[in-house]
């Protein structure tokens, strides 16, 4: 099974990626992990990416694509893979096609986790982070015993700027603008499967597996 997972921030992609990948016995590959691995190992691509990141600039597509090409060429991807965070744009999708063609394989499905924008705002705006140990709480789903105080170390909890409702809505606007062409691209190729991403974690996973096992309508 060779999969791409897409969805808005706060849709639970990371959680579902791990579960779906485990279900199929394939590696869960996130672009964040690829970047961190290359930088930590001080590979040539990692050093190149770090130069851009240190300057606060986006890593160019050609560097990202080269990292993905290298990762997909490893032995553990022979039974398949799940890509989370790549591609994000149509040019990246076309580059992925070229990579897979060079390995004589093809995508099986693109799974889109669909979550209403206001649900995303609700999920992300409820996060609170400990200033000392970095542990994450949620005021509704995983609240601390004492409001505003970390259960683990007793330090103050705070809300990141990125988790404020107005910032989340701006991020969602960017996501929709950027991802809409990508979704249409895969829909036109009969690869897109849409799964509602609300509900219990296991329920969402079950829906995702069911969708992946069914032929595309």
Determine whether 171 is an active site residue. yes
The residue segments making up the domain with residue 111 are 2-213
Start-to-end CA distance of the chain, whole Å, equals: 19
From 160, 170, 180, 189, active-site residue: 160
Q: What pLDDT score does 35 carry?
A: 87
From 2, 13, 128, 207, active-site residue: 13
**Each residue of 102-139: pLDDT tens digit?**
999 999 999 999 999 999 999 999 999 999 999 999 99
Structure tokens at 37: 């691995």
Which phi and psi angles does 134 have, rounded to 5°? 80, 5
From 123, 127, 128, 193, active-site residue: 127
From 18, 19, 50, 88, active-site residue: 88
CA-CA distance, 212 to 138, in Å (whole number)? Answer: 31
Q: Which residues contact 91 (CB under 8 A, 6 or more apart)?
A: 61
**Mean pLDDT, range 133-158, rounded to an integer:** 95
Total number of domains in the chain:
1
Q: For residue 127, what is the domain's CATH number?
A: 3.40.50.300
**Each residue of 21-59: pLDDT tens digit?**
999 999 999 988 898 899 899 999 999 988 888 887 878
Confidence of residue 155 (pLDDT cuts 50, 70, 90): very high
With a cut of 90, say whether residue 69 has pLDDT above it: yes
**Each residue of 161-188: pLDDT tens digit?**
989 999 999 989 988 998 899 999 999 9
Determine whether 88 is an active site residue. yes
From 18, 19, 164, 171, active-site residue: 171
């Amino acid at each position: 099974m060779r999969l791409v997972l897409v969805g808005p921030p706060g849709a639970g992609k990371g959680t579902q990626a791990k579960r779906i990948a485990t279900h199929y016995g394939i590696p869960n590959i996130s672009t964040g992990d690829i970047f961190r691995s290359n930088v930590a190992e001080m590979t040539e691509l990692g050093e190149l990416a770090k130069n851009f990141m240190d300057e606060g600039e986006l890593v160019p597509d050609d560097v990202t694509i080269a990292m993905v090409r290298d990762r997909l060429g490893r032995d553990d991807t022979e039974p398949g893979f799940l890509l989370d965070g790549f591609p994000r744009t149509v040019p990246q999708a076309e580059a992925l096609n070229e990579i897979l063609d060079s390995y004589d394989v093809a995508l099986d499905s693109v799974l889109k986790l669909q979550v209403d924008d206001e649900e995303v705002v609700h999920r992300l705006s409820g996060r609170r982070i400990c200033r000392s140990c970095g542990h994450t709480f949620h005021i509704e789903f995983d609240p601390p015993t004492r409001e505003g105080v970390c259960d683990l170390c007793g330090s103050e909890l705070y809300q990141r700027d990125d988790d404020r409702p107005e910032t989340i809505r701006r991020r969602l606007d960017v996501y929709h603008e950027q991802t809409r062409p990508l979704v249409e691209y895969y829909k036109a190729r009969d690869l897109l499967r849409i799964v509602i991403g609300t509900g219990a974690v296991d329920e969402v996973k079950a829906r995702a597996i069911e969708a992946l096992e069914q032929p595309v309508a």
